[in-house]
Amino acid sequence: MSLVSLLDVPAPAKLNLFLHITGRRADGYHLLQSVFVLIDWADTLHFERRADGRLQRHDLGPALPADDLSLRAARLLQQRSGCSLGVDISVDKQVPWGAGMGGGSSDAATTLLALNRLWGLGWSRAQLLALAPQLGADVPFFVGGDNAFVEGIGEQLSPIEVPVQRFVVVKPQASLATAEIFAHPLLTRDTKLSILRGSLADTAFGRNDLQPPAEDRCPEVAQAARWLADRFGNSRMTGSGSAVFARMDTGTNASPSAIDLTDLPAGWVGRECRSLASHPLRAWAD
């Protein structure tokens, strides 16, 4: 029996344990090395099949852009597959945008994986990965389904095992536009290439090359980094910001005690998060 709906489908966020900019291609795209780790801060999407071919999105929380990445992903898959079916996508947006946590990219990847099932396409993961870079540099990671050492412009994925870790993630009120950070004169673009090894999955390794430009552009990023460092002894921005995280402890027996975030500055959001061993939809594509 064919599916008519897929409900409560997760789209988890990610953290960059480090992010090095190692060069720039002739077409202007920046080359990077990073470790991407999935966390349990997630959006929730609902998909209901349509027979008329229309693609529609419904916002269950904050209003999203009219043509967000979930709609763009649905349109791209529909066009490339030649599928005549449509979908209603309802989005419960929980991951903040402008945070460097990959929320929109994760929504796009979840849409590709879900519609592959809902429309009965039977596409392989490799076929979906071929579409992913057209939607954004972070989308291949979420389609890949594993924590990964990421290179190139985001499309070169080497799955790695990352020990279970707990983080406190804080998003200041301000958001950052990725293009502005990559164009900033303070951006380092020649960090030495690293060789994949166990230490690359340790938050003590490396740095985020985008953090100095982000702090110059948005003082709240530096404020959030200090706020976390004062409490947990470490902090680092994720992606192009403005969210900042601190590592708490590791291991499956980590203390479950809740972290008090009641003293966050007005307009900030924060959450205690745990890393995921793999994407919740990892088994949805071969």
The rounded distance, in Å, linking the Cα atoms of 13 and 136 is 15
Residue environment code for 33-47, b if the CB has 16+ CB neighbours within 10 A, otherwise e: bbbbbbbebbbbbbb
| Residue 91 contacts residue 58 (beta carbons within 8 Å) | yes
Only one residue has tokens 């999955």, namely 201
CA dihedral 156, 15, 243, 131 (to 10 degrees): 40
Kindly list the catalytic residues: 14, 138
| Residue 240 contacts residue 182 (beta carbons within 8 Å) | yes
- Token representation of residue 83: 């599928």
Only one residue has tokens 């985001």, namely 154
Only one residue has tokens 């470490």, namely 234
